[in-house]
């Protein structure tokens, strides 16, 4: 894994945007794997700026999102489809028909999961997958567990994730209890991976990521066996490394 330590969140966002832009500029029909949450917001702002400056062109790009809550509509302000439209897609020259987010309201969730993975294969696979990391080491909604699911699947959210995500809702009771998420096997098929993290709250998970050990109790540690991972973090997230 390649480790890049930036001074702060802005530095992370600019560096990650530069790396993703490089992929698009080298391959105009790029397939980008995208993430939601607070971590990538600054990165998306940088990509919008680069697009406005004509330094990156999204017109032929396809995007694949990691996950979506189950049971809230696409128009709900906390749905990940809404987040992606509001935070990135509405502000760049991308064809929204080429932006994919799992359907958290599908009548047949098993078919939705199978179809989502098939679509990724049919598109030729993900060129670069953007990831955040949870304080407990979760990737997308792949939570710490005895076993991890390889393909896209429906999963229950842990209490810690529900609590962490409650800041985006009016109350913790409004946070969905289930989500549809890409599995670790599908994520690991990406040609390259960029993981971003900032703040002391991510320091323990980052330390485990670089511990030289793999455990399903911290799903992100599986990234250690991928051959092209770049980890971009700030000094706070790096504070427990080499300790």
Given 138, 153, 165, 234, the catalytic residue: 138
Q: Return the structure tokens found at 2.
A: 């390649």
The torsion region of residue 158 among left (phi > 0), alpha (psi -120 to 50) and beta comes to: beta
Contact 147, 192 (CB under 8 A): no
Active site residue 146: no
Given 143, 165, 186, 234, the catalytic residue: 143
Active site residue 228: no
Active site residue 65: no
Per-residue b or e along 62-88, where b marks 16 or more CB atoms closer than 10 Å to that residue's CB: bbbbbbbbbebeeebebbbbbbbbebb
Question: Within 10 Å of residue 208's Cβ, how many Cβ atoms?
Answer: 20
Q: In what order do the strands lie in the sheet with 2-6?
A: 2-6, 229-234, 192-197, 128-131, 31-34, 62-65, 99-100
Minimal CA–CA distance to 140: which of 71, 105, 190, 96? 190
Active site residue 8: no
Given 67, 68, 117, 234, the catalytic residue: 67
Given 136, 142, 165, 186, the catalytic residue: 136
The residues carrying an active-site annotation are 67, 136, 138, 143
């Amino acid at each position: 894994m390649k480790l890049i330590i930036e001074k702060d969140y802005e530095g992370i966002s600019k560096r990650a945007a530069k790396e993703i832009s490089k992929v698009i500029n080298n391959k105009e029909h790029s397939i980008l794997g995208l993430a939601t949450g607070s971590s990538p917001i600054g990165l998306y702002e940088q990509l919008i700026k680069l697009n406005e400056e004509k330094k990156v062109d999204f017109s032929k790009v396809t995007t694949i999102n990691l996950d979506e809550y189950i049971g809230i509509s696409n128009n709900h302000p906390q749905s990940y489809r809404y987040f992606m439209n509001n935070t990135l897609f509405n502000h760049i020259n991308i064809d929204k028909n080429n932006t994919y987010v799992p359907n958290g309201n599908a009548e047949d969730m098993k078919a939705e999961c199978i179809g989502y993975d098939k679509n990724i294969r049919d598109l030729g696979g993900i060129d670069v997958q953007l990831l955040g990391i949870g304080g407990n080491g979760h990737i997308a909604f792949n939570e710490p567990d005895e076993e991890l699911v390889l393909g896209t699947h429906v999963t229950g959210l842990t209490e810690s994730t529900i609590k962490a995500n409650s800041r985006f809702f009016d109350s913790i009771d409004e946070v969905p209890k289930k989500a549809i998420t890409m599995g670790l096997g599908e994520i690991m098929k990406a040609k390259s991976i960029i993981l971003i993290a900032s703040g002391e709250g991510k320091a323990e998970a980052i330390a485990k990521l670089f511990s030289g050990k793999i455990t399903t109790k911290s799903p992100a540690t599986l990234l250690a066996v991928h051959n092209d991972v770049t980890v971009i973090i700030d000094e706070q997230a790096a504070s427990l490394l080499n300790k």
